[in-house]
Structure formats: structure tokens, C-alpha cells
Amino acid sequence: MRDVAKRAGVSISTVSHVVNNSRPVSNSARQRVIQAMDELGYKPNALARSLRQQKTNSIGLIVPDSANPFFAEVARGIEDTSFDQNYSVILCNSDGNLDKQAIYTNLLIERQVAGILFVAAGVSTELVDDLHRRRVPLVIIDREIPNVSVDTVLTNHYQGGFLATQHLIDLGHLRIACISAGSELSPSAERVTGYRDALETSGIAFDQSLVVRGDFQYESGYHAAHKLLQKEAPPTAVFASNDLMAVGCISAITESGMRVPDQISVVGFDDVKLASFSNPPLTTIAQPKREIGELATEILLARIQDLDAPQRFERLETSLIVRRSTCKLKRN
């Protein structure tokens, strides 16, 4: 900038003002500055600017695994919206590991990010409090932190689980299995609760042995299905708490010589792109992934503008998408 000022024969502040349009500058001066800038290939140093202004245009995004299609799609929504608003995003993969998450949080604070987006992270109350104390804006996506006032965007997992199960019940199924994930952590747990309540609402007894635990990956759905098929009375339908596990499940079922949906119906959760193209196309519960990312980003940016605005809590609705992995129970 110094160089530009020199070459254009103006003061350094004049250059700054043409760069930022922050006050009137005579046409002649402006011309000379502009010319000098591109002769010298000048680009303003955002570090210096941010240091001076005490604000950056970066936000931190912490996800368990950016390669998981669900998170990847949410992340795209986030990145796109950020870009539109002139923010850039620093990507962090926590692998669900609390230590890694803490390290990243630290790193983001040191980098002076304007705010942080936590996706499906098991954020501890302490961490949230600490961030509060430091006045770091944050929004939590896809998970509810109990007893803490923090902006949150998530889908109605419970409703989704209910919807999925109800669909299976409507098709006449009685032995409906469930592939859960994680532990008591909210997204999966709520889906399972929805499953359970749907069952009970229809007077079908909940059978703990029909719920098997996975971890949201293809493999775990595959293994879960194997377990289920080995039972004396295998289920006639399966609700997998995400699409990847549903696909893994279908893979195992098919491999063992049975047919989906003729012999076993399968419904997933998320409505990842793949769901439309799996074989058979997957009946699933759709979450508005992009919107989640977009909305969360908007809320974060609003929070950055006004740290003291009232807390926001957005619970988005899910919807059932019927494709071809489910059908009426065929009575023998």
C-alpha cells in the first residue's frame, strides 16, 4: 500500500479510501491510485485489516466428518451462504473426538474467527459457556444441548423416526427392526424414540432385541442387517436411522439371497442424493440439508451482528419420501 501511495503520489490514507470507498476522493487521484494498484498488482492484506478492525471474515466449521454425504451437503449450504456474504470458512473435522474438537475450537479462537458452527458435535456445556464468556458467536447444528441458551438449527428427528415407522406400520408390518447409532446422543436417539412411539401408538409392543446399534456408516448397516437376519424370527421391515446404513443393510439382505422390498422393507433417513439411485431406490425421511446449512449460517451472521439478540431455536420438519424399498407386507 505504501508503494501504491508513493507511485500514485498520494497519501497512504487516500489509497485506503479508494480501496474501501470510505470517503470521497477526487477523480484524478482515484485514477492514479487505481492505475498504480494494478501496475503493482496490489492486493490488500486482509490480516492487517482484520487486526486493525478487530473483526475477521472467517467462520469456523466443525463437523464430525466432512466426507459423510449428509455433513458434506450441509457444509455446502454453509460454504455457499458464507461466500455470498463475503465470509470464508475454515473446515475442521472432529471425528467425533472431544479433544480434537477442543483443539480446533482453540485454534479457531486464536485465528479470531467471527463465529463458529458446530455440526452434530457433542458440545459440552463448559465449552459453550467458555465460548459465551469469550463472546464468540456460535450456532449448533443437528444436535440439542440441554439447559444451554445457544442458537440451534436441527430437524425434528423424532417426527422423522415416527413417520418412517408409521409408514412401515401402514404397510402392515409388525416386526419392524431399527438400526440406531451413537448412544444417548440426540439425533439418533430421537429418531429411535419416534420409532418406538409409533410402534406403541399402534399397539405394537416394542422389542429391544429388534434394535441394533450402528454408527451411521455403510458397514455398520451391513453388519446390523446380518445380525437381524440371523434371528429366529427376522423382521419384515427395517428402519435404519440414516441412508448409508439403509444402503448397507440392503446390501447385506440382497447378498443373503433375500429381496428388498418383497421380503424385507427398508426405510432410511436423510434423503442423501444416493437415495434416489440406490437399487431399489430408497424410501426415506428427507431432511432439508442445504437449508439447514443456509439457515444456520444466516443465524450465525446475524448473531455476529448482534451478540445480544434473543436466542434462536429452529426445528425443521422432515418428510417421508416413498420410493421402492418398501412395500406391503406379504402374508404367508
Partner DNA sequence: GTGAAAGCGCTAACAC
Partner DNA sequence: GTGTTAGCGCTTTCAC
Contact string (CB under 8 A) for a copy of itself, positions 66-105, x = contact? xx-x--xx-xx--xx--x----xxxxxx------------
- For residue 77, give every residue at least 6 positions away whose Cβ sits within 8 Å of its Cβ, in sequence order, or none: 289, 290, 291, 292, 293, 294, 296, 297
Q: What is the CA radius of gyration of the chain?
A: 26
Residue 26, contacted partner among a copy of itself, DNA, none, CB below 5-8 A by kind: DNA
Burial 272-293 (b: 16+ CB within 10 A, else e): bebbeebebebbbbbbbbeebb
Alpha-carbon span 19 to 118, nearest angstrom = 34
Cell of 56: 475477521
CA distance 233 to 229: 8
Element of type H or E holding 118 = strand 115-119
Contact 183, 209 (CB under 8 A): no
CB of 218 to a copy of itself, least distance (A): 5
Residue from the set 8, 18, 37, 56 that interacts with a copy of itself by CB under 8 A = 56
Under the criterion CB under 8 A, does residue 26 sit at the interface with a copy of itself? no
Binding flag, residue 309, a copy of itself (CB under 8 A) = no
> Binds 279, which of a copy of itself, DNA, none (CB < 5 to 8 A, cut-off by type)?
a copy of itself
Identify the DSSP state of 205: P
Q: In what helix (H) or strand (E) does residue 213 lie, and over which residues does it extend?
A: strand 211-214
Query: By C-beta, is 170 or 255 nearer to a copy of itself?
Result: 255
Q: Which of residues 33-52 bind DNA (CB under 7 A)?
A: 44-45, 48-49, 51-52
- Binding partner of 147, given a copy of itself, DNA, none, CB within 5-8 angstroms per partner class: none
Nearer to DNA, 112 or 254 (CB): 112
Residue 248 lies near a copy of itself (rule: CB under 8 A): yes
**Which residue in 54, 183, 208, 332 binds DNA (CB under 7 A)?**
54
Element (H, E) at 254: helix 243-255
Residues of this chain, 109-148, that bind a copy of itself according to CB under 8 A: 109-112, 130, 133-134
**Can you tell me the distance from the alpha carbon of 243 to that of 218, in angstroms, rounded to the nearest whole number?**
8
Other residues' Cβ atoms within 10 Å of the Cβ of residue 143 = 20
Asked if 259 is part of the footprint of a copy of itself (rule: CB under 8 A), the reply reads no
Closest by CA position to 248, among listed 216, 277, 219: 219
Among 125, 149, 209, 279, binds a copy of itself (CB under 8 A): 279
Give the distance between the most distant pair of CA atoms in the chain: 92
Residues lying near a copy of itself in the complex (CB under 8 A): 41, 43-48, 50-51, 56, 58, 61, 65-67, 69, 72-73, 75-76, 79-80, 83, 88-93, 106-107, 109-112, 130, 133-134, 218, 222, 247-248, 250-251, 254, 273-274, 276-281
Residues lying near DNA in the complex (CB under 7 A): 1-2, 9-14, 16-17, 19-20, 22-26, 28-29, 44-45, 48-49, 51-54
